[in-house]
Structure 1
């Protein structure tokens, strides 16, 4: 068991750290009857330790709330929360249950422990929508000590404020063993009912990326509400089972018995709404899926229309290219028609040709060919290098491969011939 506790402690300290804050928020409920005192205050870290270690003979509810950061990967051990785990151990809270805070899955579980001094302690560990809670309820003193790990996210802050408000509204029930489970199921059920995504004034024909993202986000919230509804169902079953066992036990004081009955009635009311809420969530999920399918079909239809338009554009481009090709052919034909005339007109205009004399070709006419022929060859070579280099490279590579193959074949023939000559020489020597 100690190895499991050590493993849980190591994992928690390497994944969770506090957000820099000088003070810790403390909620305290004490008193009885009409003199219930609900107070909020801030304390430094050293004061919180002394405050928790102070013994109180009167029933007291204490909740220490602080913001935390949960890292996705393992980090160097954070010592800022080590004292919190030590304090949880001193309060007989099983730290192994804190692993639910790392999984970030809605959970609620309790364990009863018998201490060496004869006291019974109920441990409650839960994870509710971005927040983790570890609490210890002492059955002898009817006191509760609770650590509230509030994640540094908007959802975590919202749920923290809802729990604080519910604690204040139901402060008179703080001595009851079902007080924290009652708070959890009340806040969770309220969150499920109020924050379920609504689908009013939805334009089903408007198919765009924003619409798709909105409905995908709504589906995520529905899935989250569905998981939290199962958590509420577990808490309701636990409260009703514990209430049934408590009713069969020894007689309680009248005020405590009334508190038990109030919480039991609340659990029965919430339990009666769970099947209808679950049906509503499943119906909304199906409606969400149908709309997402409608969006997908609409997007596919738009893609098909776009593909058809693209094909039409390709046909138009092909026709335009064909027209351009015909125009180029016309230009090429006209160039071939006028090129001989242009050549001879230029040739007859060369100053080296003297048409008014008996010796038409002058002695400097060779310069015309000396410049024309080399530059013509150079232009053709540049055209081949620029436009036909890949084909020329492939031809060169094939020629090289053929030459290497022929060379290898020639070397093999030479080796074979040398081997035959050596064998003949050996035979002659033997003779």
Structure 2
């Protein structure tokens, strides 16, 4: 049965959950213990009683406990960020969920804060509980970070400085991200006990995922660059040009969007890294005293932060270079499209010129035919009249006396009409162009 807390926008969908404890002993040995948790045994687990009693706690140099919620059932719904309209689904009863929050002193308004202040890039906040002497007793973090994809994972992390024990409550994450967090902690178990181990490892996980995106982007941009090459461009059939142009433009803009997303993810991860770095610097003395039994943990963690810092710098350099390449390719695409349009316009102009020249030749031929007709038609008409039997007795000179004046009159009328029509055409053209001044 699913219960909904409308005030904090949480739905409780109880299922069997998992907790994994990573422990490092003072002698250097490490162990991993997996627990199946439910509402029935959560109290014993939180108080380390019964089957969950910790053996020889005085020999533990550091520990990390991961408490996982099952992935939401509506994970396929495309929920990327935790915004106000979303109701967060957790696989615990309301009583067990609140018990975990209270036992490890996570902020009670954790979800309300995220929904009111969270951004699409992520969220990170820190909470410190101090001892009366002023030393840091508990360092807590609330993080919303993209680990492997666009899905935003939500974690609450608390470290007890005196017990050298970190508890990470993985509230919202995919199943493959559960396995990724486990594997990363297993490989870095020599750093167990450091207060900032889990947040720093989350930075590394997100950076590794971002590196995969950068590699995919490099391949896509290389394909676009090959497509915008002069040789490939000219070999495209004319009939396929519009389809190819549209696809190439789409791929170029998609690459720009992907670069922008990768850049935003790097910026969000940098915020989390900066939080770890500033916390390490601000509480350097307290952290050193917490790791006093094994100073190598502090040294190794500083080296981890150093490596992450330069990975961020190099990843940012990759992103900036990819951004320049994407901008260049979009400019090249528009240049090629403009070039193709110019070539098409030039081709149309050449064809129009050919048609105009052909029309002019046809017009000249028609003018010649019309002139010949104007010269010969009157004489032909006169000869036809003289062929009538009733006019057969007229002398031959009478034919010329009639044909010549008629021909001159007809031809002159045609010439005058042609000149008037030409003048009229020029006048109309000037009126259309706005140049006519009213003079005839």
Task: Tell me the TM-score normalized by structure 1.
Answer: 0.57
Match of 1:125 in 2: 142
Partner of 1:63: 66
Structure 2: how far apart are the matches of 1:158 and 1:80? 17
Q: Deviations over 1:184-228 (max 9, x none)?
A: 222122223333121334433374555444444443443233233
CA RMSD in angstroms, aligned pairs only: 4.0
Question: Once the two structures are superposed, what CA deviation does each residue of 1:224-271 show, in whole Å capped at 9, x if it has no partner?
Answer: 332332344334444444444555457565553211110111111221
Match of 1:87 in 2: 100
1:267 correspondence with 2:305: yes
Contact 2:14–2:91 at 8 Å: present in 1 too? no
1:170 CA drift (Å) = 0.7
Q: Evaluate the alpha carbon distance shift between residue 48 and residue 136 of structure 1 in structure 2; reply closer, same or farther with a 3 A threshold.
A: same
Match of 2:184 in 1: 166
Unaligned runs of 5+ in 2: 147-151, 234-243, 356-440
Kept in 2, the 8 Å contact 1:240–1:264? The answer is no
> Would you say 1:35 and 2:34 are equivalent positions?
no
Equivalent pair of 1:100/1:126 in contact (CA under 8 Å): no
Match of 1:226 among 263, 288, 296: 263
SS at 1:289's partner residue?
A: helix
| Partner of residue 109 from structure 2, selected from 96, 104, 107 | 96
- Provide the secondary structure at the position in 1 that maps to 2:300: helix
Structure 2: distance between partners of 1:226 and 1:126 = 19
- Taking a change above 3 Å as real, the CA distance of residues 96 and 294 of structure 1, as seen in their structure-2 partners, is farther
User: In the TM superposition, what is the alpha-carbon distance from 1:134 to its structure 2 partner?
Assistant: 0.6
The equivalent residue for 2:125 is: 109
The secondary structure found in structure 2 opposite 1:67 is: coil
Who is 2:156 aligned against?
134
Q: Counterpart of 1:192?
A: 210
Q: Partners of 1:217 and 1:26 in 2: how far apart?
A: 41
User: Contact 1:106/1:227 (CA < 8 Å) preserved in 2?
Assistant: no
Structure with bigger RCO (C-alpha 8 Å, 6+ apart): 2
1:188–1:89 distance in 2 versus 1, CA, 3 Å: same
Contact persistence 1:62–1:144 (CA under 8 A)? yes
Q: Distance in 1 between matches of 2:271 and 2:119?
A: 18
1:104-161: CA deviations, max 9, x gaps? Answer: 4223221102479x9822111111212111111111212222111334xxxx455443
Q: CA deviation at 1:294?
A: 3.3
Q: Cα distance, 1:293 vs. partner? A: 3.6
Residues 67-122 of structure 1 deviation map (CA, whole Å, 9 limit, x = unaligned): 13558663789786634245313321014344437644223221102479x98221
Contact 2:101–2:108, Cα closer than 8 Å, also in 1:
yes
User: Hey, what's the Cα distance between the residues in 1 that align with 2:340 and 2:7?
Assistant: 50
Q: TM-score, normalised by structure 2?
A: 0.56
Tell me if the contact between 1:13 and 1:79 (Cα under 8 Å) persists in the aligned partners: no
Counterpart contact for 1:239–1:264, Cα < 8 Å: no
> Who is 1:145 aligned against?
167
Structure 1: unaligned runs, 5 residues or longer: 1-8, 317-431
Quick one: structure 1 residues 304 and 36, their matched pair in 2 at CA, closer, same or farther if it must change by over 3 Å?
same
Provide the C-alpha distance between the structure 1 equivalents of 2:19 and 2:250, rounded to a whole number of angstroms. Answer: 40
